[in-house]
Amino acid sequence: LPMNKVVFFDRFRFTEKNTRRETAVLATILEGIYDQRTVRLKYHTNQKGPRHGEFRPIVLEFSKRNNRFQGYFQKCKTDAIFTFNIAQIETAVETDTPFDYSAAESALERYRRDNTTSVEIEFSNVKNIVDRILTEFSPWEKRCSYNPKTGKYRLTIFYQTLEELDLVVRLLGYGANIRFVDKAHPIFKEIQSRMNRQMDLITERRKESNMQEPGDNR
């Protein structure tokens, strides 16, 4: 297969312009954290386009899930906690307004505690699933136990409610190799709904295909 026929891209290679912008944004946010001063951000959202706001910067961390830096902020007007990927932030400007960092940090801890939930699954060690699934969910806090009588593993994954869709996509790939302990869990219901929609789509396409096939005139 000639390489000039292969279309590929490097998702970890960022343009020089974006790299300069994100570097400047990171530096400004770090200064705001160290100086304990608010920052004015211009950021992008999926639904409403560019937005502006003044925030108290609390924590910067590197997310292993999306290989990007993300920050936790407290909005000055409402005290609500926001999470931004640095790629979402177009500009950041440090202000002269000081804030109580300890109070903002405590608010973030309460937010994380109040929004932490868990999902519990069981599986047997088929197709090297133990290594695969523990590696897949390494960024999350989790607890795993093994029952030698049943030969099954039980894994509890702790996550933030905003990360639910991410877990749905990842767990969906394991199909029938995993079993949800709680069939009323939102993640199980979402996976079941997606699988049902997929089966309905397959059935619909088969019907359309059969209708388009020419009849047997023999």
Are 75 and 55 in contact by the 8 Å Cβ rule? The answer is: yes
The distance in angstroms from the start CA to the end CA of the chain is 44
Q: Go through the chain and tell me how many residues it has.
A: 218
What would the two tokens of residue 215 be?
């009849």
Q: Give 159's Cβ-side CA count (13 Å radius).
A: 20
The residue that leads in pLDDT, 196 or 75, is 75
Quick one: average pLDDT of 8-23? 69
pLDDT tens-place string over residues 146-193 = 999 999 999 999 998 888 988 998 999 898 899 999 999 999 999 999
pLDDT tens-place string over residues 107-134 = 999 999 999 999 999 999 888 899 999 9
Angle at Cα 92 formed by Cα 113 and Cα 71, nearest 5°? 20
DSSP category for residue 144: E
Are 60 and 19 in contact by the 8 Å Cβ rule? The answer is: no
Lowest-pLDDT range of 48-52, 79-83, 138-142: 48-52
Whole-number pLDDT of residue 5: 72
Strand ranges inside the chain, DSSP E: 37-45, 49-63, 68-75, 81-85, 89-98, 116-124, 141-147, 152-160, 178-180
Q: Is 64 helix (H, G, I), strand (E, B) or coil?
A: coil
Spatial distance between the Cα atoms of 168 and 178, rounded to a whole number of angstroms: 13
Are 18 and 87 in contact by the 8 Å Cβ rule? The answer is: yes
